[in-house]
Structure 1
């Protein structure tokens, strides 16, 4: 599925030379009829912010954009507040860079397993979990489902699909005491591709 864009109003290269590319991952929108946000309406709302090259990818809430700021937490708050203003929803936002996603791909702890496994899901965490909270999560028996934490990423292999697991996003957030939003491997790779195209 192609990303749809709002192109910058100027084509002068020096205007964009200081811009940095980011990907905002929205948590829990357009799921089971909850927090419904149309991507065209979201792109339109985002024109209020000082972003360039804004685009979205699929309905799960992935926003690609460029900004001059280095402050990721500021970007997360700007997008959070804008969504609350326009749509009335409290939506958690995790902002990452293209390099973050590349590192996520390269750090897949299951990549060298000698058994045939499907590609993992990745839960992007709002911070690095504490050792204590990580131990609490690891103490739970998730049966055949497996997970590993690397930095701010939690990689999951669901034996029978995400819909049947006890290792839900709610459990991850409760035990780690962090915000989490999950993406499948295909989406992560596509976001890397789209981000590279607008650098």
Structure 2
């Protein structure tokens, strides 16, 4: 059975570092036997179909191939359409009432236990807020991610130790659902 997935690459094409041209990424993925490979923007999203593997094995396959081809390691998270759709459907914030720049999702390679974040004094950051979801963290940043003190705090390595974590704005979150549909 063929399943459609999105691959989320962490930290590529940012500030001139870890350059991965999307055309080369598509070719690399097709060389792995993945079908209907499409990329979105330059910031590390690829959609593909596969009739083998699962999210973890496909991510590991991509990590190895990218390191071999480009010479550096990149964290990769692979999620199927049903998961991506559930992220949108289960958003704890009123996404339809917000600007896309105000809402972000950080995808995690594994579930993040709530106790990782217990030291955060949430009231200090209001009106910014975050909520945990299924292997994801939703962030409401009314002034955008670039000005968010909460996002800066949430990105601290000790909070995400042992996890691959990569964030996307709400427009990208919704687009990946559309791209993986049917």
Q: How many angstroms does 1:184 deviate by?
A: 0.9
Match of 1:148 in 2: 131
Distance in 2 between residues matched to 1:64 and 1:112, nearest whole Å: 23
Report the structure number with the largest CA radius of gyration. Answer: 1
Distance in 1 between residues matched to 2:117 and 2:26, nearest whole Å: 36
Distance in 1 between residues matched to 2:153 and 2:17, nearest whole Å: 15
What TM-score does the superposition give when structure 1 sets the normalisation length? 0.81
Match of 1:176 in 2: 160
Contact 2:114 2:132 in 1 (8 A): no
Alignment of 1:187 onto 2:172: yes
Distance in 2 between residues matched to 1:156 and 1:186, nearest whole Å: 14
RMSD of aligned Cα (Å): 2.1
Q: How many angstroms does 1:59 deviate by?
A: 0.5
Say which structure is richer in helix.
2
Comparing 169-178 with 29-38, which one deviates more in the overlay? 169-178
| 3-state SS of paired residue (1:103) | helix
Q: Check 1:170–1:145 CA distance in 2 against 1; reply closer, same or farther (3 A cut).
A: closer
What TM-score does the superposition give when structure 2 sets the normalisation length? 0.88
Unaligned runs of 5+ in 1: 1-17
Unaligned runs of 5+ in 2: none
**Residues matched between the structures, number:** 177
